[in-house]
Amino acid sequence: MIQRIAIIGLGTMGPGMAARLARGGLQVVAYDVAPGAIERAGSMLGVAEGVLDALGIAVPPAGAGTVRFTDDIADAVSGADLVIENVPENISIKADVYRTIDSLIASDTIVASDTSGIPITKLQAHISHPERMVGMHWSNPPHIIPMIEVIAGEKTAPHIVTTIRDLIRSIGLLPVVVKKDVPGFVENRVLYALLREAVDLVERGVIEPEDLDTCVSWGIGYKIAVIGPMALLDMAGLDIYKSVSSFLNADLSNRDDVAPMVLEKTNASKLGIKSGEGMFSYTPEQTKALQGERARKLVAVRRILEGRE
Ligand SMILES: NC(=O)c1ccc[n+]([C@@H]2O[C@H](COP(=O)([O-])OP(=O)(O)OC[C@H]3O[C@@H](n4cnc5c(N)ncnc54)[C@H](O)[C@@H]3O)[C@@H](O)[C@H]2O)c1
Ligand SMILES: Cc1ncc(C=O)c(C(=O)O)c1O
């Protein structure tokens, strides 16, 4: 039974994950190589806990879990039943972490990666006892979005998938088991198909970025939260989809590299909210207000979608 969880990496995702797991009654020890990240994670944890209260996520009868931060990776993983690796999306950084923890954990400690889409089979090559490694892909913001993908690599033991699926379910979240270890798994394959087309339309001057967001959020996003893509096909009619896709699919972006607009911005360190500018610009005050407003809206929508309002 999983009770003690180590989280390695406390950037965008780690603090919200820690808060959500602790709310489910689990004991979390969280580590980051950067002291600044540990400091930031403390305040992000407090914000996430407030959002969990607003979502009405109850503490289990046995009581809430705990989150403890540490700057010592050996301390973080000591006695862990599950280690969740949550460091940047770069195989060599992830492999370094696996090499470091390998001698610090038991051979049956489960090691999960929150990778956005590196096949688990590739990551497994960098750890001993690869049968205990599994993909556990959360969605951002992880304390609010309830769905988590669970992915087996070629060498993952089936019972590890079941254990992680059951853990996710036991704390009131929604596991989705992905049946093949394809790059990007399912959520990001669908998201990146949408993002590729969206970036292409803005880059070609078909639409302004603000208008693209209005079109997608109100035309597609709002609807798709209630009616998933497969159900939407039935609502529109497969005959309509057949007619439109017969001419439209060939016209959609099939770019297989990173769009020049994205390269230009990343080369200029315009990374989005984390750097104050990306597709849009953000002052620190605007960022704080935006994050609060987004959390409030996501909480309200989730309560309604769950039939709690
Ligand atoms: N950002 C998202 O929307 C999102 C969503 C789901 C999954 N993911 C995936 O989760 C993982 C983490 O993403 P993120 O957005 O939180 O990244 P991030 O860059 O915000 O944070 C990564 C953290 O890892 C730390 N780190 C780097 N090397 C380390 C090491 N050797 N040991 C311990 N800590 C180390 C960094 O200091 C940083 O705080 C990635 O694989 C990413 O693809 C990201
Ligand atoms: C752009 C983008 N890329 C990856 C992920 C998750 O892996 C997300 C997300 O969870 O929101 C994302 O927005």
Distance from the alpha carbon of residue 143 to the mean position of ligand 1, in angstroms: 15
Q: Which residue puts its alpha carbon closest to atom 13 of ligand 2?
A: 140
In this predicted model, what pLDDT tens digit does every residue of 159-197 receive, in sequence order?
999 999 999 999 999 999 999 999 999 999 999 999 999
Provide residues with CB under 6 Å of ligand 2: 116, 139-140, 188
Does residue 309 have a pLDDT over 80?
no
Q: From the alpha carbon of 137, which atom of ligand 2 is closest? A: 7
Does residue 308 have a pLDDT over 90?
no
Phi, psi of 67, deg, nearest 5: -125, 125
Beta carbons of 46 and 74 less than 8 angstroms apart: no
Q: Which of 149, 141, 102, 118 is nearest to 11 (CA)?
A: 141
Distance from the alpha carbon of residue 139 to the mean position of ligand 2, in angstroms: 6
Ligand 1 contact, 85 CB (< 6 A) = no
In this predicted model, what pLDDT tens digit does every residue of 231-260 receive, in sequence order?
999 999 999 999 999 999 999 999 999 999
Distance from the alpha carbon of residue 116 to the mean position of ligand 2, in angstroms: 7
Q: Which residue puts its alpha carbon closest to atom 7 of ligand 2?
A: 116
- In the numeric block, which tokens belong to residue 201? 């339309």
Cα distances (angstroms) measured from residue 261 to each of 26, 199, 200: 43, 8, 9
Q: Which ligand is nearest to the CA of 198?
A: 2
Which pLDDT belongs to residue 184?
98
Cβ density class 78-98: b for 16+ within 10 Å, e for less: eebbbbbbbbeeeeeebeebb
Neighbours of 19 (CB within 10 A): 26
Which residue type does 232 have? L
In this predicted model, what pLDDT tens digit does every residue of 159-169 receive, in sequence order?
999 999 999 99
Ligand 1 contact, 166 CB (< 6 A) = no
In this predicted model, what pLDDT tens digit does every residue of 275-289 receive, in sequence order?
999 999 999 999 999
Ligand 1 contact, 153 CB (< 6 A) = no
- From 89, 116, 189, 298, the mutation candidate for ligand 2 (largest count of ligand atoms within 8 A of CB) is 116
Distance from the alpha carbon of residue 236 to the mean position of ligand 1, in angstroms: 39
In this predicted model, what pLDDT tens digit does every residue of 62-119 receive, in sequence order?
999 999 999 999 999 999 999 999 999 999 999 999 999 999 999 999 999 999 999 9
Which pLDDT belongs to residue 250?
98
Does residue 158 have a pLDDT over 80?
yes
pTM: 0.96
- From 13, 114, 136, the mutation candidate for ligand 1 (largest count of ligand atoms within 8 A of CB) is 13
Q: From the alpha carbon of 145, which atom of ligand 2 is closest? A: 10
Please count the residues of the chain: 309
Q: Which residue puts its alpha carbon closest to atom 7 of ligand 1?
A: 116
Q: Which of 142, 136, 4 is nearest to 70 (CA)?
A: 4
Which percentage of the chain shows pLDDT scores above 90? 99
Distance from the alpha carbon of residue 78 to the mean position of ligand 1, in angstroms: 21
Ligand 1 contact, 71 CB (< 6 A) = no
Distance from the alpha carbon of residue 239 to the mean position of ligand 2, in angstroms: 32
Burial label for 197, CB within 10 Å (0-12, 13-18, 19+), is: middle
CA atoms within 13 A on the CB side of 73: 20
Beta carbons of 2 and 167 less than 8 angstroms apart: yes
SS3 readout for the chain = CCCEEEEECCCCCHHHHHHHHHHCCCEEEEECCCHHHHHHHHHHHHHHHHHHHHHCCCCCCCCCCEEEEECCHHHHHCCCCEEEECCCCCHHHHHHHHHHHHCCCCCCCEEEECCCCCCHHHHHCCCCCHHHEEEEECCCCCCCCCEEEEEECCCCCHHHHHHHHHHHHHCCCEEEEECCCCCCCCHHHHHHHHHHHHHHHHHCCCCCHHHHHHHHHHHHHHHHCCCCHHHHHHHHCHHHHHHHHHHHHHHCCCCCCCCHHHHHHHHCCCCEHHHCECCCECCHHHHHHHHHHHHHHHHHHHHHHCCCC
Does residue 8 have a pLDDT over 90?
yes
Ligand 1 contact, 116 CB (< 6 A) = yes
Mean pLDDT value across the chain: 97
